[in-house]
Structure 1
Amino acid sequence: MPVPVPRTTVTAAAVALLALGLPLLAAPTAVAAPALTARVAQAPAPATVTVTGNGSATGAADIALVNAGVEVTAKTTTAALSAQSKAAGRLLDAVRGQGIAEKDIRTDSVSLSPVYDYQDGASTLKGYQAAQSFTVKVREVAATGALLEAVVKATGNAGRVNSVTFDLEDRSPLQARARKAAHDDAHAKAAQYARLSGHRLGRLVSLAESDTGYFAPAPPVAADEPAGGGAGVPVAPGEIRATSTITAVYELD
């Protein structure tokens, strides 16, 4: 345990030093250390390359969507509806006779409207037009022509074939192939740019799908013309085409 020094002894020592002309030494005090600022070296951001990839895939149609109907005109609403109902019944019988299941037959529209004759600025009521249309899914594409022929024969001048569209029951596999092609295209472009700039292709930073497309051929048939044609009613399904466009960002090592 340190022995305390009397205050008088300290004072006397100070006087002795002053008498000898020696300076007094101040007691050491704590010195604040200068603040240290930590500096973390930041690596430069890696170079990147942004590319657009385009891809497509094609496949054969496995279904046909036939939009067909009937249209009749009569003097009264009752007569028009009656004639339309009979013609529509014949159409449905013909469709079912081709082996089409009930779940694949859908009514799209039913309409009844007046018909006027316009001459010299005046209109005269001629009668009423009744119409009904159906969409029929044909699950055997090769049977589409036979179905059209059957509808034409059953409905006569009242029949209408509005459109025939070929499609796929499930579009997902074809679209997946198009996306893969777009991804491969983007990767190939990025790898080429990496080589051209003296780098190696690094990791994928981001990828965004900007567009997809799906194209199914639809041979046009005028909706205001009676269904015509003869045996066979030739059809050409063509190809179904899916497309995909992506934007990808890669690092360059």
Structure 2
Amino acid sequence: MPLPRTPAAAALVALLALGVPALAAPTAAAAPAPPAAAVRLAPVSPATVTVTGEGGASAPPDLAVVGAGVEASAKTSQAALETQNKAAAALLGAVRAQGVADRDIRTESVFLNPVYDYTGSTARLKGYQAAQSFSVKVREVARTGAVLQAITDVTGDAARINSVAFGLSDPAPLRARARQAAHDDARTKAAQYARLSGRRLGRLVSLSEDASSSPRPVPSAGDTPGVGTGAAPVAPGEIRATATVTVVYELD
């Protein structure tokens, strides 16, 4: 007696009768293979060379700054001030007559002090001392000696010459030349070390300025403008600026 067929069994028989192979039972899905572990390689740091470059530049000064003044003493404060005022006015007139513009003349200090005699057991007032000092810019360096002489000629014993400093009205170009020289010196050194190492100089990695000096006078034994009749001798010398840099280059 034939067994009763279920709908699923009947469908399977029909498929076999038609020549369609039976579908295999699904198998469990295969687990995905674990990803390959990523391997990270440390980057290779390029070889470098570090050098220090030094450079300097010089130029003749185009400016002189004269520190000058007058001083007077008298029994009374009023008399000391009057004498000092006359000497100061004479000083100003002398430097202006030498071609110094008003914008280049500046009062630095004015004072009036009592003067005491301390030789005895008690201090004794002797009188008063009045003074005034000026900063005078001489933009024609060759006239510096003439300006100094003119000051002393018109103020006599009241004259005080405190300082003479030579410089540049615009020091920036000289500083730039010093930096250029320091940079060139550093690159030349780095290129030499690269050749000695059998390598070639690569790209610039870093550059830092270690020091840069303000232009300063350098005495010289050259000509002394202002020397001659009616002029005090002066020696302007040269103004020099220096720079130091540290650079790092790669080596190819």
Once residues 114 and 250 of structure 1 are traced to their aligned partners in structure 2, the CA distance between those partners, rounded to angstroms, is: 67
- Measured after TM superposition, the shift of residue 189 of structure 1 is 0.8
Question: In 1, Cα distance between the equivalents of 2:182 and 2:113?
Answer: 50
Aligned to 2:240: 241
Q: Which amino acid aligns with 1:67?
A: G
What whole-Å deviation, never above 9, does each CA across 1:2-23 have from its counterpart, x for those lacking one? Answer: xxx949x9xxxxxxxxxxxxxx
Name the residue aligned to 1:204.
204
Contact between 2:217 and 2:239, CA under 8 Å: does it hold in 1?
yes
Q: Return the offset for 1:38.
A: 2.5
Percent identity, please: 60
CA spacing shift, 1:150–1:26, aligned 2, 3 Å: same
Q: TM-score, normalised by structure 1?
A: 0.81
3-state DSSP class of the match of 2:198?
coil
AA at the equivalent of 1:33: A
TM-score, normalised by the number of residues in structure 2: 0.82
* Residue aligned with 1:217, SS: strand
- Aligned counterpart, 1:59: 59
Counterpart secondary structure, 1:28: coil
Once the two structures are superposed, what CA deviation does each residue of 1:88-125 show, in whole Å capped at 9, x if it has no partner?
00100111111111111111111122222222664332
Q: Tell me how many residue pairs correspond in the alignment.
A: 225
Aligned to 2:156, what secondary structure does the other structure show? helix
Q: Equivalents in 2 of 1:60, 1:177: separation in Å?
A: 14
Q: Distance in 2 between matches of 1:89 and 1:238?
A: 31
> Cα distance 1:200–1:121, how it changes in 2: closer, same or farther (>3 A)?
farther
Say which is worse superposed, 242-251 or 78-87, in terms of deviation.
78-87
Q: Is the 8 A contact 2:218 2:237 kept in 1?
A: no
Q: Which residue identity lines up with residue 153 of structure 2 in the other structure?
A: K
Residues 120-152 of structure 1, C-alpha deviations (whole Å, 9 max, x = no match):
664332222211111111111111111111100
SS of the equivalent of 1:204 reads strand
Runs ≥4 residues deviating over 6 A: none
Contact persistence 2:111–2:132 (CA under 8 A): yes
Q: What letter matches 1:245 in structure 2?
A: T
Query: Could you say which residue in structure 1 is the equivalent of 2:250?
Result: 251
Q: Does 1:103 align with 2:103?
A: yes
Q: Is the 8 A contact 1:166 1:218 kept in 2?
A: no
Q: Return 5+ residue gaps in structure 1 as ranges.
A: 10-24, 220-229
CA RMSD of aligned residues (A): 2.4
| Residues 188-203 of structure 1 mapped to structure 2, 5 A cutoff | 188-203=188-203
What CA deviation, in whole Å up to 9, does each residue of 1:181-233 have, x standing for no partner? 000000011111111222111111111111111343399xxxxxxxxxx8321
Q: Quick check: 2:217–2:240 contact (8 Å CA) kept in 1?
A: no
- Pick closer, same or farther for the CA change 1:199–1:121 going to 2, 3 Å: farther
